[in-house]
Amino acid sequence: MLGLSNLRRVLLAVSFFLFPSFGVADELSGANTAWILTATALVLFMTIPGLSLFYAGLVRSKNVLSVLMQCFTLTCLMSILWFVVGYTIAFGSAEEQGPFIGDFGNVLFAAMGVDSLNGDIPAVLFAAFQMTFAVITPALIVGAFAERMKFSAMLLFSSAWLLLVYSPVCHWVWGGGWLAEMGFLDFAGGSVVHITAAVAALVAALVIGNRRGFPGTPMMPHNMTMTVTGAGMLWVGWFGFNAGSALAANGSAAMALLVTHISAAAGSLAWMACEWIRHGKPSVLGIVTGMVAGLGTITPASGSVGPAAALVIGLCAGTICFFATLFLKQRLKIDDSLDVFPVHGVGGILGTLLVGVFCATDLGVFSGLGFGGDNGSIGAQVQVQLIGIVATFSYTAVVSWLLLKLVDKVLGLRVSEDQETEGLDIVLHEERGYDIR
């Protein structure tokens, strides 16, 4: 007769062959690994070529290469910085981390090997997935100072910003820091990515000043075809951004993908409707900007809400971000060149707040997946979300301002008026985007 211990071994072996997907937590999941490999490529696709083309089409033709160059170079430089020290500041090397920054045990990915796991995916894959977030966040800021910032100044500021702003905030929210301990909800980067990038963008626009001729001189996009192409790539890549943040090929990832798509569609239509009513005609620029607003706003909530809530979030995003853009440029006369703050900042704040409402389980059809807030009620969760928003906004604003002032002292932030008039493509790179003969 089989003893009890032997019987357990037999049952375990049988269950392994009958139900191979029910492996223990520290076993590699091929399905999850394959999905996060794909998601990593999709998020990188968002920066190059997605964001690069989206931004490049929105500037004047004399600056098209400068924007492409900035996005491409940031992809390279931020990747190296993340590998060297950014990742360990954000996530460290141990399960237990401090409240503000991670330990330094993963400098150069030192604590990770080919067999190291993060959950049931390779640890190096998790680090690479997070690397693509670290790439696109500084690249978003480019839109605020496009057409007037020195290339060298942009590189120095972005490098310091990644290590002193992005990586610590990433630790607060995703690396086991103090906001995570409070139960702050940010599934895919409403605060970590969008609020940080947008606040830095707003501060940069204020510190560096308006473009020459703004707001009196029209500064129209030079190639809307390029912008729409980039927008389409952003939409597709965002599925990796949000659904990939589930870190598994499961129902949570599927729901995140669905709500991301619904919010993007609703944001597009809401912005288009606002523009149509206000100006009499809908524009291509408007509908693609509304799409980005819908995507950015659903990002923090994408793992916590259902499709009906996503529809509401998208409609709010398209409408509120539309009027925020008008207010910033027409009323405040702030030259955030490509509307980084009113789209990503306002959208990120809105989405981070609304996840505190729609994650609650007592709103029927508008509720989330049944997770609920870690703090029980709507009011308690919204309070935690507000704390996270204020902390992220304040910290990013102060440190970004200090970095910009320092870089201005060391290198100077802005090209000369004559150089700005000639265009950054020739002045900084000795090339032209178009050579029409």
85-99, 137-151, 372-386 — which one is most confidently predicted on average? Answer: 137-151
Structure tokens of 256?
């995140």
Residues 6+ apart with CB under 8 A from 75: 44, 47, 48, 135, 139
The matching CATH number, chosen from 1.20.120.790, 1.10.3430.10, 1.10.3470.10, 3.30.428.10, for 30-415 is: 1.10.3430.10
Band of residue 20 on the pLDDT scale cut at 50, 70, 90: very low
**Residue 100 CB coordination number (10 Å):** 13
Taking each helix axis from N to C end, the angle separating 151-161 and 378-410, rounded to the nearest 10 degrees, works out to 140
- 391-416 pLDDT, tens per residue? 999 999 999 999 999 999 999 999 99
Structure tokens of 36?
């996060």
In degrees, rounded to 5, the angle at the alpha carbon of residue 303 between the alpha carbons of residues 134 and 117 is: 60
CA distance 286 to 317: 13
Q: Which pLDDT does position 195 carry in this prediction?
A: 98
CA torsion sign, 71 to 76 to 81 to 86?
positive
- 236-273 pLDDT, tens per residue? 999 999 999 999 999 999 999 999 999 999 999 999 99
Structure tokens of 326?
């008008």
For 14-18, 52-56, 93-97, which range has the lowest pLDDT when averaged over its residues?
Answer: 14-18
Structure tokens of 384?
């935690």
Question: pTM of the predicted model, to two decimals?
Answer: 0.91
Q: Which pLDDT does position 374 carry in this prediction?
A: 47
Average pLDDT over every residue of 63-83: 98
Q: Over 80: is that where the pLDDT of 321 sits? A: yes
Domain ranges of the chain: 30-415
- 276-285 pLDDT, tens per residue? 999 999 999 9
Q: In Å, how far are 45, 361, 384, 387 from 391, measured between CA atoms?
A: 30, 27, 11, 6
CA distance 374 to 383: 12
Q: Which pLDDT does position 359 carry in this prediction?
A: 84
- 348-379 pLDDT, tens per residue? 999 999 999 998 655 444 444 434 444 556 68
- In the block, tokens 């900084």 appear at 428
In degrees, rounded to 5, the angle at the alpha carbon of residue 166 between the alpha carbons of residues 338 and 69 is: 45
Q: Which pLDDT does position 95 carry in this prediction?
A: 81
Average pLDDT over every residue of 314-335: 97
- 149-181 pLDDT, tens per residue? 999 999 999 999 999 999 999 999 999 999 999
Q: Which pLDDT does position 361 carry in this prediction?
A: 57
Q: Which pLDDT does position 318 carry in this prediction?
A: 98
